Structures are given as C-alpha cells and as structure tokens.
A and B are shown apart, each in its own frame.
Chain A
Amino acid sequence: MDDVEDVAPRPDRVDTGVGPAIDPAVDPAVDPAATSTDGAGGTDGAAPSPATAPAPPAAPTAAVVRRVRRRREGAVIAGVAGGIADHLGVDVLRVRLVFVLLVAAAGAGFAAYALLWLFCPIEPRGVRRAVPPRERRQGLGLATLGVLLALVLSGIGGQLSGWVVGPLAVVLTGVALVWREADTPDAEAGLAQRSRRLVGGRLGLLRLLAGAVLVTAGIAAFLLGNVDLSQVQFGLLAALATLAGVVVLTVPWWMRLVRELGAERRERIRGQERADIAAHLHDSVLQTLALIQKQAGEDVAGREVRRLARSQERELRAWLYGPPGGDAGHPAGAGDATFAAALASTAGEVEDDYGLRVAPVVVGDAPLDPDTTALVAAAREAMVNAAKHAGVDEVDVYAEVEPETVEVFVRDRGRGFDPDAVPEDRRGLAGSVRDRMTRHGGRVRLRTAPGEGTEVGLVLPRARRGTHGAPSNGTSETPLEEEAR
C-alpha cells in the first residue's frame, strides 16, 4: 500500500477542474470562451444585459480566448483604457496616450473609445486593484488633454468651424456623463432592480441632469449658430410634438415591458423558492433519515424503523431528483418505462418487503421489452433469495447495459452455500431464475461457496448475437441515461 503513491501521484493541477462539470449556467452567446473555461463564479442566474454581462472570470491557466474587460475599479471614464492595458499587459498610461494621439487623427480616438465602451463587457465584481491617485490624476489630465487637442486641432485645420467644434465637445461631455451614470457598476443586479437603480441616488440624478443639460445646450448652440431663430422655434416645436406622439403611441409597449418585468421577477422568486425548499429538504430530512438508519437498533423494532426510514428516503429522492432511471428534469413518468427504472423500483420493493438495503447501480439503460422485463423479474427473484437466505442486511445490485448484452449481478456477503448440495428452500433460485433466463435466451452464472456470500450473474443477450458475458468485456456503450438517484 505504501508505494501506490509513486505510481499514481496526487494530481495537484486539477484545482480548477470543478467548473466544466457543474457550471452549465454560463450563457454561451454572451461568452463563447466560457464553455471551455472554469466558470465557477458564473452561476448568478440574473439575466445579464449585453452591456454589462457579468461574464465568468476566465480561468488563469486554461488556454482560452481572453476577452477585453473594462476595469471596474480605477476607471477614469469607463475603464476602457485600463481594460486594454490589462489585456495587453502594458502600462495604462501608454494606452491612454495612444487614445489621446488618435484623437488627432480626425477624432478617431473618440470613436474607438466609444465603440470599445459599448462592446466590451465590464469585468466581474470583486476584482480588487490598488490604483494610485497619481495614475488617476494622470488619466483625468490626459482625458482633458484629449478634448482640448480635439478642439485646437479642428480649429487649426479649419475642417470644422468653431461653431461646430465647441458644441460638439459640449455634447460629447454630456453624453459621457450620462453613459457613465447609466453604466454604474451597481446597475447589473437583476432586470427589475436595475430599473430602480438606473438612477443611482441623488448625486447620480444630478450627474444625469447635468449631462442632459450639456447635450441639449450643445445641440441648441449648434442650431442657434447655424440656423436662424424662427426656424429653430419651429423645429423645436416639431421635435417636441413628435416626441410626445411617439410616447403616446408606444404606451402599450411600455406597459407590457413593465408587466413582463414584474412577471419575470415573480417567476424568478418562485423558482428560487422551489430550489430553496429542495435544498432544505435535501439537507435536513435526508440527513435525518440517514441518521435514523444508522442509529436504529438491531432488534425487530429497529429493523422496522430502518425499513421505514429507507422507504421514506427513497420516496423523497424520487420526488427531489425524479424517479430513478429518469433525469430530475425529465421524470420517467408513472410507469417504469425503462429497464433501469424498473430495476430500481423492484429493488425498492424488495427493500420494503424484506427490510434490508438493496443498492442498485445501473450503467446505461434500455427500453423495457419482454426480455428485459423477464430479466428484471429474475433479478427480483435473486434479490428476494438473498434477502431470505443470506442473512445479511445489504445486497449489492449492479446492472450494465451494453450493445450486445444486459447483465445484472446480485451480490450478497452472507452465508453462501454449496451449489452441489442445494437445499430444498433454494429451489427458487434454481427453478424460477434459471427457467426465466433460459426461456429468454439468457443464462445464469452462480458464484457461491459456504461462508463466502453469493453472486448471481444474469446475462441476457440483446441483439441475439454472440453472447459473451464475461465481466471483462472491453469497451462498453451506454446508449441511454443511467439512473439518477
């Protein structure tokens, strides 16, 4: 036992391996990389908005497509420059400088920044980074520099008159203010909460107003400078009338949106409650039932208590996870539609009738037909036989469905017997089981010896082809699901 560890070293690199196994909640449309990464943090079920998708943290080790994520902390405007710096692994200052220089190229810096702002998701919450105040000051300075540069250059170049550039700068500042406010990091809880948090507090409202005023002022200034006043009056009136008309026309849509928001929230709460109840039952009741089974005494009353607890546990499990043989999400229905479900419920019956534990493990599944039904019946005989004669309180049942054969092994660690000197009360095994199996083209293999327990192996060929039921077949194919208990 000592040198096993040399042969099989403890795998230390699997620490990140949890993710793919348990995290199907990642929306592949939002983050294509997430399907192959460790997305352990991505299970918050709130519907993410495209702009602020709380994408799962990328695994540090896995080789996946990394995406640019805007910085949440230490952002001067929207964290775009910081995100790019993180992505490329360069200093933020350089990225910001590049943006400022790009502004000189006919304002390309502005456009690039705005587009990146729109299309890059913000990084998930909880990433802590210390941003020195100096870096922040530099960032602010560079942003101002960029705006000034734009003004000056356009003035010098003369492509745009001062009347256009001035108001444009004002409008851009206003837009940046409003966008920033709408994009606050808090604004991604749930769809319903977000509508409330869209305007975050008094300061936020102030910023929003200031932004709106700036935008309006910019547009007004532009219009005033270029068009004469009477036309502006008319234009304003026309715009207001159109806006009012649009609002009135779209009232039903607004109402529906609000209603759907409410419905969605209710549905989510209900689902959450359901999950909570299931988790609670799982945690408390199943634990207690397990405890009862362990603590119950060995006398008649104890056996009865154990039997009841086992039966309750089985029913609760079936309710929580769907009946054995079916998936929790796709219950197998009232009848036992498949071989695995039938075998599991048969095991349950034997458990109830004889007060012992029958633990079925089924690999693969097959539809129930006369042959497999007979196999289940034969397996039942074998279980009952073990329950009656072996003198044990646990029987292992293992079934494996393969393309050519279905095998069931019923094993106990009880008395065992000498197969050559079968006593009268063992006729059940010899008669019922063997006859059933041979009628359906199968066979029975018995391993037993006095004191060594009994294993009844039932082998049923499926495709009427070569029957080889040795326990050491090579590969197996399991066309259907396994029982999900």
Chain B
Amino acid sequence: MTEPSGTTSGTPDELVTVVVVDDHALFRRGVRAELESLARRTVSVVGEAGSVDEAVAVIGHRKPDVVLLDVHMPDGGGAAVLSRTRPEHPDVVFLALSVSDAAEDVISVIRAGARGYVTKTISGRELADAVVRVKAGDAVFSPRLAGFVLDAFADRPGATGVVDPELDQLTRRERDVLRLLARGWSYKEIAAELVISVKTVETHVSSVLRKTQSSNRHELSRWASDRRLV
C-alpha cells in the first residue's frame, strides 16, 4: 500500500511535505486529492501508509515535515506510531486526524506527542492551514480539543494529587485564550480581543499543549479514564 510520491514533480521546497497514515485507503486518497487540488497549494503528500509498520517505514524513508495520523488503527493505532517514530525522528511533527471525538482518544494522542487534533470532517482548506501551522511549530487546537483541555484542567473541588503545581495550572491568560478557541475564534480574532499579538496567542497555545502533554496531573488521568471508550 505504500505509494511513493507521484506528485512531487517540480515541487518547490516551500511546500510542506506530508505523509498520510490511515488504514482506510479511501480516506487517504480523499485527503490527498483534497490537499493537492487546493487553489493555493501549500502542501504536498509524499507518502501514505495503511498500518503502523508501514507508517514507521514510510516516515523513516520520506522524513516528511508533518504526519497526518489516524488515531484508530489496528496494532496500537496512532499512539503506537508516535511512540515508535518520535525517538528517531524528533523533527517530524504529528497532527492527529480522527473520526473520533472521544475525549480519551483526543487526550491520549496529544499526550503521546501529537501537536494537534482535528476531526476528519474538516475542510481541505482548513486541513492545509492546520498542516502549515503545526509545521511552523504551532499547536492546532480545534474548539473541541480546547474544551476538553479546559475541562481537564478545571479546578474541581477536592482535586488531589497535584504533583507539580507550577506545571499543573493554566495561567489566567492561557485560560482566556483556550476559552476563545473553544468559541471558534481564530488566532487573529483572539489577539485583537485580548489586545496581544498573534505570536503571543501562539505562545500561549503551545504552552497549554506542553502542559497537557507533560502534566503528571492525577486529575487529567482520571478525567480521561472516566471517559474511556468501550
């Protein structure tokens, strides 16, 4: 199933190279077609993989900028791909692309190292933008992901087991940014609303991502496991 790129002819190097990992061939083709038929092309699909092993091989071979990663696959899914490729290719950025909205999936793949999470109903244009943004070092928070994180970090009464208070709290500003993200605002709109620069918004979001990924917070684990899939 591993298809080497057939469409890289004359690719200027500012195109972001992408590998699509999904066990549904139909969906891979759809994503590829959508990304490459955009009027203003910013993304080039250089490889596809339909299983964890294939993904590891293709990523190692192609060394793409960004990997679009399905969360649910046989043999461990997206988390397995992350854990097997990240140590060797720390420069490759992962963006989770899933049909699932389940909190557990979202949080677990983020904690496994993905830089963002978008659902599969996203439009081609938005997907391309998201790819470019994670490539640039940003985190991509869909409104839903922002809502999950807000909820996970909420200070519930009786919350215990906070290991590292510095790490385990979102700052007031980070909360503000997350709230506006959850309301569907763009970075630019958020920047204007809070009277800060877009870059500062990006910094806040990246920092929230980092806290979500590395927090030892007991609440976060329990919160995610409460919402366990079947």
Contact = CB atoms under 8 A, between A and B. Distances in A.
B120 A359 contact: no
Interface in A434-485: 455, 471-472, 474-479, 481-482, 484-485
B225 A2 contact: no
Contacts of A4: 136-138, 199, 202-203, 206
B150 interface: yes
Interface string A294-325: 11000000000000000000000100110000
Contacts of B103: 482, 484
A21 B220 contact: yes
Interface string B17-36: 00000011011001000100
A4 B143 CA distance: 21
A10 to B, nearest CB: 7
Contacts of A400: 150, 179, 182
A477 B210 CA distance: 22
A363 B225 contact: no
A286 to B, nearest CB: 5
Interface string A1-34: 1111101111111110110111110000000000
B147 A361 contact: yes
Interface in A360-405: 361-364, 396, 398, 400
A21 B151 contact: no
B160 to A, nearest CB: 13
A477 B219 CA distance: 13
A218 to B, nearest CB: 50
B214 A7 contact: no
A165 to B, nearest CB: 55
Nearest to A409: B183
Nearest to B113: A14
A357 B121 contact: yes
Interface in B101-132: 101-104, 107-108, 111-113, 115, 119-121, 123
Nearest to A310: B121
Contacts of A471: 176, 179-180, 183, 193
Given A14-B113, A290-B120, A328 B230 contact: yes
Given A321-B229, A477-B154, A482-B148, A294 B143 contact: no
Interface residues of A, number: 65
A287 interface: yes
Nearest to B136: A1
A411 interface: yes
Interface stretch (B6-14, B56-64, B83-91): B83-91
B216 to A, nearest CB: 8
A248 B194 CA distance: 81
B221 interface: yes
B29 to A, nearest CB: 10
Query: Among A7, A283, A398, A479, which residue has the most Cβ atoms of chain B within 10 A?
Result: A398
Given A11-B213, A475-B172, 13 more contacts: A4-B199, A4-B206, A5-B137, A15-B87, A18-B79, A18-B111, A20-B216, A24-B225, A290-B27, A294-B34, A398-B147, A478-B156, A484-B227
25 contacts: A5-B137, A15-B87, A20-B220, A21-B104, A21-B225, A22-B79, A282-B72, A282-B99, A283-B72, A291-B120, A294-B120, A295-B30, A357-B121, A363-B147, A396-B183, A396-B184, A398-B179, A409-B183, A471-B183, A471-B193, A474-B175, A476-B154, A477-B154, A482-B148, A485-B101
Among all A-B residue pairs, the 5 with the closest Cβ atoms: A396-B184, A8-B206, A361-B147, A20-B221, A24-B225
Interface of A: 1-5, 7-15, 17-18, 20-24, 274-275, 278-279, 282-283, 286-287, 290-291, 293-295, 317, 320-321, 327-329, 357, 359, 361-364, 396, 398, 400, 409, 411, 413, 455, 471-472, 474-479, 481-482, 484-485
